[in-house]
Amino acid sequence: MKILTVAGARPNFVKIAPLMHEMRKHPSILPMLVHTGQHYDRAMSDQFFADLEIAPPDVNLGAGSGSHAEQTAQVMQRIEPVLAKLDPDLVLVVGDVNSTLAATLVAAKLQIPVAHVEAGLRSFDRSMPEEINRIVTDALSDLLFVTEESGRQNLMREGINPWKIHFVGNVMIDALEATRPRWERSGIFELLGIEHGRRYAVLTLHRPSNVDDGSTLAGVLAALQKAARRLPILLPVHPRVRQKLSQAGGIVWRDAESREKLPDGGIVCVDPTSYLDFVALMSRATLVMTDSGGVQEESTMLGIPCLTLRTTTERPVTVTQGTNRVIGTSPARIVEEVHAALSRSLDRPEPPPLWDGKASERIVRILLDHFQIGAARAAVA
């Protein structure tokens, strides 16, 4: 059984790692990996492959950056001959990036079955490009693996055949738990001058709705600078945001290996960290602030309070059963919520159902059963 997995961006790499490791345990599966090249610099690609111990991809499409249309079209054009040549029995896609959508569209038109990991998540905000990617990918997929109950309910409302839907848990948590012994030994604290027990916050900021509009970004940064009077805020800078932040005042830029003591306050920008270092930073943080989906999940599993700088979340279980609060981008609200989060005590919640580090095992077992049933039917026919 040839399973071709497609990945293109940092969140994809985290999700495919446990899946690739699990598939390689089964002699009846030939796993193949296509890297679309959506994230192509070392900090956003090669380092994650090393951290997550993912073997080099079988094919790198080198699609690169561009507008959503350009990037999607590049991946579609470049992956079609790859699928025709490798002739997989199944294309496995993860998440909601442009690479996910592009691979699904091409595979569906070539009549190759598609399995979507992390299916059914909905923000109900179609101004988010990821929301369009999720809806189309789910509509075309043959197997849909959901991380939380809301995903199953969303797919059922959209008329998806319930036999296609499988509640398996969260592969992001598989990666988190599998690498725990390594990120717990991270040396990032010494490099950034963070003493044990030091209070600090971790911030990620990259979503176009937050960083591409100058007035929105200015308001968010002004609020965060006020909040940073209470404790320093560490911001690993996404490559697409660096130029915008470099023009902002009141921000400290720090070499990741400077070993200078972390200041008592302010926003401290550092280069993108590795996966292991970033999880380590979150694990000891007093507070996490983000506009990322995956960070909402990781902080929930780590039991760290999280403030999501968006008006919606496609991961509601992180709110109902986790540590997450969705607060939007109003400057006054941000300051208020940071102060409240720093003042309240938080009991670590129980992990959401099936977030137990075994999602990839369930997915691979379902894939094996699916193909065994298909082979049996073909033999009878």
Q: Which residues are catalytic?
A: 206
- What is the per-residue DSSP string for 80-102? HHHHHHH--SEEEEESSSHHHHH
The pair phi, psi for residue 97, each rounded to 5°, is -85, 175
Cβ atoms 38, 97 nearer than 8 A? yes
Residue 287 pairs in a beta bridge with 201
Distance CA 349, CA 373 (A): 39
Closest CA to 5 of 314, 160, 21: 21
Closest to 313 measured CA to CA, from 201, 104, 151: 151
Q: Where are the alpha helices (DSSP H) in 141-267?
A: 149-157, 171-178, 180-183, 188-191, 208-211, 214-227, 242-246
Pairing mode, strands 324-326 and 251-253: unpaired
Report the distance separating Cα 251 and Cα 249, nearest Å: 6
How far is Cα 124 from Cα 128, in angstroms, rounded to an integer? 9
Q: Which two tokens stand for residue 276?
A: 């292991």
- Asked whether 267 and 221 are in contact (CB, 8 A), the reply is yes
